Structure 1
Amino acid sequence: MPTGYFITLEGGEGAGKTTLLTHLARKLETLGHPTLTTREPGGTPLGNILRQLLLESDRLAPTTELLLYAADRAEHVSQTIQPALNGGKIVLCDRYTDSTVAYQGYGRQLDLDLIQQLNQIATCGLAPHLTFWLDLPVETGLKRAGDRAKNMGQSLDRLEQTPLDFHHRLHHGFRQLAEQNGDRIARLDATQPPDCLATAAWVLLTTRWPELAQTAQSRSTPAQP
């Protein structure tokens, strides 16, 4: 059984997951807690290849997209996440199974039962201890994504360019998941400034596991989900 903490960050485009993940990782590392940051897709060498296909390909059939995400996750859990947890690390992951349910299930409108089965196979049943859902209005998130791409001299990726109704469906999917998994998923108001969002996340994290607010020497093993 894993002995570390597995924390995932979820949300739509432009929600600020990467910024929050970076802040939490720095805070934990400052306190001496061994921490691994990773992402999906792209948390392994194979995952980086799949990430390029998934985000840059002009067209992918919805089922092809789903299966590529499942392949990325199977490799990610086996090669990156599970070994880190077994070693007692805190794993912070940008996207995990909830994104597949929201994007491919609600957004692409694929069969939810099939997605749950694929997620179970790909993860071997490994679920996060805690998930932060960064809740942001769709239009706000897409504007942030567009501004970010413009500032970096890049174009929007394939998912960011999908029609607006797709993004509204996936936002609804995240809301449904939060309502169904209230013991695991903590909603964060992502309209807050980054520093305020990070503070809110840290309070939730250390309320659940007070030992994380202390130095690593006083850390104890978390309860399993």
Structure 2
Amino acid sequence: MYIVIEGIDTAGKSTQLEILADKFKDAVFTKEPGGTQIGSKLRQMVLSGEAKSKLAEMFLFLADRAEHMQEVVIKNKNKVVISDRSMISGIAYAKTLPLDKVIDLNLISTQNILPSHVILLKLSKEELTNRLSQKEHDSIEARGIDYLLDIQNRMEETIKKLNLNYIFIDASLSIEEISKDIEDFLNE
């Protein structure tokens, strides 16, 4: 199983990943970007705003994704791999290019390997506004609420377009309710 948890910043991915870590003790936990040695350097470059071009930013993420697939997902194909983000985020954040073109580039970087299970934690505008008001923003979050909601919509569109096995969960539910929904989905 290759499970990915998706959602815009503050949706609660980290909390749910901690819960999954208790339930899947033998799973390989990883993240994109930054799940490899090269990836952590690329992630830092993007989050600090080093890439001035959105196209350059996308290619940094694609390089990270290619390395991640080779070094984490493929190397652990006989184990459960649970990832904080995936190509779905990469496609959603690459807004400067048409969706189909970005999907094609990502399929090259993943060697056409797709997640077996996708969990998307979705936030309403009100809930996102509330959560962002309680923290400092990185360079992505600083782009604003409408930007992040557009990314969330693009994640949903990407998941459907790729015909993935997915569940969309209201991220404003309690931590326990979300965890139960995820567990039910993974046990289907």
- Find 2:110's aligned residue among 92, 116, 123: 123
**What is the CA-CA distance between 1:111 and the residue it aligns to?**
2.1
- Find 1:17's aligned residue among 13, 20, 26: 13
Q: Is the 8 A contact 1:38 1:91 kept in 2?
A: yes
**What is the CA-CA distance between 1:197 and the residue it aligns to?**
0.7
**What is the CA-CA distance between 1:137 and the residue it aligns to?**
1.3
CA deviation digits over 1:106-164, x for unaligned, max 9? Answer: xx3322222112111111111000100111114423532442x3xxxxx3111010033
5+ long unaligned stretches in structure 2: none
Q: Aligned partner of 1:18: which letter?
A: S
Q: Tell me which residue corresponds to 1:222.
A: none
Q: Tell me which residue corresponds to 2:61.
A: 69
- 1:178/1:16 CA distance change after superposition, 3 Å: same
5+ long unaligned stretches in structure 1: 150-154, 208-225
CA deviation digits over 1:25-66, x for unaligned, max 9? Answer: 21122xxxx201110110001111111111112662110111
**What is the CA-CA distance between 1:67 and the residue it aligns to?**
0.3
Q: Is the 8 A contact 2:3 2:117 kept in 1?
A: yes
Identity within the alignment, %: 29
3-state SS, counterpart of residue 134 of structure 1:
strand
Q: Tell me which residue corresponds to 1:143.
A: 130
Q: 1:23-62 to 2 correspondence within 5 Å?
A: 23-29=19-25, 34-57=26-49, 60-62=52-54
After superposing the two structures, state which structure 1 stretch, 41-50 or 171-180, moved more: 171-180
Q: Aligned partner of 2:101: which letter?
A: L
Asked if 1:174 is matched to 2:155, the reply is: yes
Q: Tell me which residue corresponds to 2:146.
A: 165
CA distance in 1, matches of 2:160, 2:38: 33
Q: Is the 8 A contact 2:88 2:159 kept in 1?
A: no
Q: Aligned partner of 2:9: which letter?
A: E
- Find 1:191's aligned residue among 164, 172, 185: 172
Superposition RMSD on alpha carbons, in Å? 1.8
4+ residue runs of structure 1 moved beyond 4 angstroms? none
CA distance in 1, matches of 2:132, 2:47: 14
